[in-house]
Amino acid sequence: MYNLSDYGYGLPESLIAQAPCEHRSLSRLMHLNRRRHSISHHRFLDISDLLRPGDLLVVNDTRVVPARLLGHKPTGGRIEVLIIDYAAGMKHLTDTGRFQCDCLIRASRRPEPGTVLDLGQDIKATVIEHRDRISVVSFDGGNEFLSRLKKAGKMPLPPYIRRDQNPGQGGGTQAQTDAQLYEQKDRQDYQTVYAAAEGAVAAPTAGLHFTQDLLETLCARGVDLARITLHVGYGTFVPVRVKDIRDHQIHSEYFIVTEQTAEQINQARRQGRRIIAVGTTAVRTLEFCAGDGGRICPGQGRCDLFIYPGYRFKCVDAMITNFHLPESTLLMLISAFYDRERILDAYQVAVAEKYRFFSYGDAMFIE
């Protein structure tokens, strides 16, 4: 269970969702019951029948920022800069007055340190240094950079969602128009309805299935809601490159758990109510903050907890999640929560039943 190859599975490319379900809560939902070892099929709306009065849903209220910038090098060559640690950039901005953080740069030739990039909307950036695949980039403009980013930046969709990466090339005016329409739609679709705290460069996608109406229905049925924040980083898409998963160094992400939320969760545990995490990001945050007996400690900082089979869960009783990439740390996490072979069997059922996979795909409820 520690070999990377133990987490592979076959997936037809046609099942990788390129857009969300037209109505969020009408996406499909696979229900896995760990006690009965059963699988059943539903619509996400049915989650209101699967949850119990008294259950506490813990959601990640991070908000995705338009962190992908397109521009030019001084030579005129095209370049793409993807901000991958917005939270660190905000801290640097507070400390120094300049937004500076780790980025991924895509260009025909990586620019040398000291190169000034033109990223549109009066955004200038200077390459500071390179560390392996990561580049440290400093952006001009101080606080004004943030407002410029919201105008010029594009949503940082995962690489398996295909959009026109270079509008105007290979498609002319129509390609530009299509890209603009997708961008406008993705700015709404790639956010949860409860997104509030800006800082993520990837969405906590299990939450994309909820609508405000569904949340109100759950509330009316006695299901409570608690909010934590974990600013999802691009590291969630970085492939595991070691044969033994125990040798993998997982990325860290900035989190916040308030005293109010911690007490809300701890009270639910004292009362014997279920803690249900919406998404692997909520799972990692809760387990990172959990002490003896599953008690949650409030705080903020960097979460670098890597959960894989053998891990003993302290707080989370059930989870809602999407279908994850083969050989990903997210698939390892849900395999730790249930059973690796049964999870992979369920994934094969999902393929046979033509579920839609990954960020804009369908969901799974594991209890």
Compute the average pLDDT of residues 165-180.
56
169, pLDDT greater than 50: no
Angstrom CA distances, 245 to 69, 195, 304, 306, 309, stand at 33, 32, 15, 10, 10
91, pLDDT greater than 60: yes
Compute the average pLDDT of residues 316-325.
98
- Radius of gyration over alpha carbons of the chain, in Å? 21
In sign, the C-alpha dihedral spanning 50, 53, 56, 60 is positive
pLDDT band of residue 166 (cuts 50, 70, 90) is very low
- The gap from C-alpha 345 to its chain's centroid, in whole angstroms, comes to 24
Query: What CA–CA distance (Å, rounded) separates 198 from 201?
Result: 9
Quote the pLDDT of residue 235: 79
Quote the pLDDT of residue 164: 59
Query: What CA–CA distance (Å, rounded) separates 296 from 314?
Result: 10
Compute the average pLDDT of residues 298-312.
97
pLDDT band of residue 172 (cuts 50, 70, 90) is low
Quote the pLDDT of residue 174: 60
Per DSSP bridges, beta strands 318-322 and 363-366 are antiparallel
Q: Are 208 and 356 in contact (CB under 8 A)?
A: no
pLDDT band of residue 103 (cuts 50, 70, 90) is very high
Quote the pLDDT of residue 243: 97
Quote the pLDDT of residue 171: 52
Compute the average pLDDT of residues 169-184.
66
Helix %, strand %, coil % for the chain, to 5?
A: 35, 25, 40
Quote the pLDDT of residue 341: 98
Query: What CA–CA distance (Å, rounded) separates 226 from 65?
Result: 22
Query: What CA–CA distance (Å, rounded) separates 87 from 285?
Result: 16
Compute the average pLDDT of residues 259-269.
98
88, pLDDT greater than 70: yes
- Tens of pLDDT, residue by residue over 115-134, are 999 998 889 999 999 998 89
167, pLDDT greater than 70: no
Quote the pLDDT of residue 165: 47
Q: Is 91 exposed, middle or buried (0-12, 13-18, 19+ CB in 10 A)?
A: middle
Quote the pLDDT of residue 168: 40
Domains of the chain and CATH, by start: 4-64+192-366 (3.40.1780.10), 68-153 (2.40.10.240)
- Tens of pLDDT, residue by residue over 226-235, are 999 999 988 7
Tell me which of 170-174, 242-246, 255-259 is least confident.
170-174
Q: Name the token pair of 22.
A: 């037209």
pLDDT band of residue 170 (cuts 50, 70, 90) is very low
